[in-house]
Chain A
Amino acid sequence: MSFKFKTIIFFLLISLIPYALTMLMFGSSFRDEQKNNVEKELKTQLNMTLSRINQNLQTLQNDLKFMAKSEVMADIYTSDLDRRISRLLLNKKNDLNIIGNFYLVDQEQTIIASSDFSYISKKFNFNSTYSTKVLSPFDNKPIANLHVYYDLKNLTKYFSNSENRHYYVVDKNGKNLFQPKEYKESILIQSTLSSIDNVKIVLIEDKAHAYRLLKKYQFWFVVTLFIGALFIILMAIYFASNLIKPLKHLSSTANKITQTQDYSVQVPIERSDEIGHLGKSFNTMIKGINGAMGEVKDLNEEIEATQREVVFTMGAIGESRSKETGNHVKRVAEYSKLLALYYGLSEEEAEMLKQASPMHDIGKVAIPDAILNKPGKFTDEEFEYMKKHAKLGFDMLNSSNRPLLKAAAIVAHEHHEKYNGKGYPRGLRANEIHIYGRITAVADVFDALGSDRCYKKAWDDEKIFDLFRKERGEHFDPKLVDIFFKHLDDFLEIRNKFKDLI
């Protein structure tokens, strides 16, 4: 797990969890409050309705008591012969506009008077809602009872029902009355009606309708919650990235330096705190390394230049012994490099051959001057002695472990071998001869023929070319001869550039 990822997770944990907890607590308390408000509102409605009903029922009871004391109750003694009590009751019923009836019942439970005349002189054997005693106007003894039957249906006129909310009545047997419909889910508030025994009024509301506001808020709450969470996540990523950025710079710069070896690169510094200091220290370190590397490079170059010069000088020593002009080695070096490149050797190898080839005649140091500088032809004996310079050169150089001197040893040893196997000192053939030997042979012969020597004059170019064509596959590697002719201009240009000055 990366440091950045860990940092993001850390940020999320310390910010998202408290955020989510706070929001959820806030949301749940808001929801509870909303639910409480809905219930409170229902309760208020129910209580208002109940108080209206109770008030009206209280009025009814007062009316009943008032009627019981009225003068016309004296007609109880005539069994309401003139229907005066019944008419009073009927009028009262009509005034109150109720469903139900008043009954005046004597001590023998016979109905003397009623707002419904058809009950008169029948037996009173049913329940009434309220009743009151009627006392004799003369001696205050109870002479009858005045009852009222108040149908529960009367209560419905106090109910303001709507599509989503309605009232209903639960009677003393627990039976639901006057319920217009039922809801799938509902909120129910009920209260006992104090003015009629065991009757409950229920107010019920469709849950979906009651909590419709809550539903709406809930949606927006969730949206807000997610936007907040998203913001926190983005901030966490932003801060973590910012925190990591300098470290990334450091590591990427270090990687780059490892790859390119370029110590001049610097880390961008965007801040002045501890992390900025780290970048600065890193930069200072790289700068130091860069300086040191520069010194090493300069020293190295110095060494290489010295080496080149030594090698060159060694070649020149060989040349000078045979009184050949110093430019010969330079030209051979250049031809060798060119041939090596066209032959397909690498730049490094070609460069090494260029530096090694001047030493091809180093062995001549050990050849006596009398032989070496003899004008005219050698005797066989002298020539055999002369041939020794190849092996001598090889022996001088081969003891070194340096690649350059190893290459020079090969060149010295094999530059007189011929492709057809008729060369010296070992008579190697074709590919048995190292490519360095084959190349140097071509380069050496080409330059030797084109120069004046103590024993001969310089050849014309045509004569040289004829010889090359003739010796293609004999003295010289045919491939190198082909290269020579193909790029003849390049070779002639080198010869021109390093012309011997006489």
Chain B
Amino acid sequence: MKVLLLLLFISVSFLQAKNYAVIVRSDAPFEQIKSNDLKNIFLLKRRFIGDQKIIPINLLSNNELRVHFEKNIIKMSRKKLNSFWVKQHFRGISPPTTQASYQSVLKFVTNVQGAVGYVPSSLVNENVKVIYEF
């Protein structure tokens, strides 16, 4: 019972610490990326890494993981983000495409070179590689 409780505690604290992974296709021509670069990629301020065009993939706006991602990586409130995208809209820039599920994010990343998405770490498979964890 003590062991069980310990395992639970460890796993919960582990999940809270590094439970999610930012992924790209396994043959992507880049490896690790910084949190700030990730922010610029998802705000479409940075379109390329090296010669590779980057396509950020968001989850739907009500998704818990997206809320978590915005809070920890982009570090902007939803209100602030909305006004940011409204401004961008007038410059002809739309926010990143979305996918409705982790599976579809995974599949999209697998199929499209340069696509960058984030999913729970447990779903990571051999078709993708992790370039950031949070």
Contact = CB atoms under 8 A, between A and B. Distances in A.
B107 to A, nearest CB: 4
Contact of A81 (B55, B97, B101, B115): B101
Interface residues of B, number: 15
Contact of A78 (B53, B55, B94, B108): B108
> Which of B53, B100, B114, B115 has the most CB atoms of chain A within a 10 A radius of its CB?
B100
Contacts of A74: 97, 108
Contacts of A71: 94, 97
Interface string A65-107: 0000001001101110110100000000000000000000000
Nearest to A71: B97
B32 interface: no
Interface string B68-110: 0000000000000000000000000010010111011001100
B97 A78 contact: no
Interface in A123-159: 137-139
Nearest to B115: A77
A137 B97 contact: yes
Interface in B29-62: 53, 55
Interface residues of A, number: 12
Contacts of A81: 99, 101, 103-104, 107
B108 A77 contact: yes
B8 interface: no
B53 A138 contact: yes
A386 B55 CA distance: 189
B112 interface: yes
A79 B110 CA distance: 12
B104 A138 contact: no
A137 B108 CA distance: 13
Given A75-B104, A77-B107, A78-B111, A138 B99 contact: no
Contacts of A138: 53, 55, 112, 114
Interface of B: 53, 55, 94, 97, 99-101, 103-104, 107-108, 111-112, 114-115
Interface of A: 71, 74-75, 77-79, 81-82, 84, 137-139
26 contacts: A71-B94, A71-B97, A74-B108, A75-B99, A77-B107, A77-B108, A77-B112, A78-B99, A78-B103, A78-B104, A78-B107, A78-B108, A79-B107, A81-B99, A81-B101, A81-B104, A81-B107, A82-B100, A82-B101, A82-B104, A84-B100, A137-B97, A138-B53, A138-B112, A138-B114, A139-B53
Given A71-B94, A78-B104, A79-B107, 11 more contacts: A74-B97, A77-B107, A77-B108, A77-B111, A78-B99, A78-B107, A78-B108, A81-B99, A81-B101, A81-B103, A84-B100
